[in-house]
Amino acid sequence: MSRSEPLGELLPALEKIESGLGARLDAVHEVVEALESEESFLNGSVRALGGEVKALHETLAGLQNDLQLITERLPEGGGPLQKVRDALTGGEE
């Protein structure tokens, strides 16, 4: 199209462009909504996993404390429980 074309000939082309852009914008909007939904789901999943990791950490800490209390009462050398405690705590304390 050149600048010398009458406005009546340009309007249908502009309307077609506007319609195409509107359809593309609608499609982009749908994709963004889907991504936001996925992001929300993933955020919830990460929070749930964080809670589970925290619970596991607390359980392991409790087991480590229980093992510490048990091995403190053992005679010198401690036997197998002492070895387990050392393995869990990273060595003798």
Domain ranges of the chain: 7-89
10 Cβ contact list (under 8 Å, min separation 6)? 1
Give 5's DSSP letter: S
- For 71, the 3-state DSSP assignment is helix
pTM value surpassing 0.75? no
Binned at pLDDT 50, 70 and 90, residue 3 comes out as low
CA distances from 10 to 13, 14, 57 (A): 5, 6, 69
Of 27-31, 64-68, 74-78, 87-91, where does mean pLDDT reach its minimum?
Answer: 74-78
Return the closest-CA partner of residue 82 out of 58, 60, 73: 73
- Give CA angle at 83 (90, 89), nearest 5°: 20
Tell me the pLDDT of the chain averaged across its residues. 86
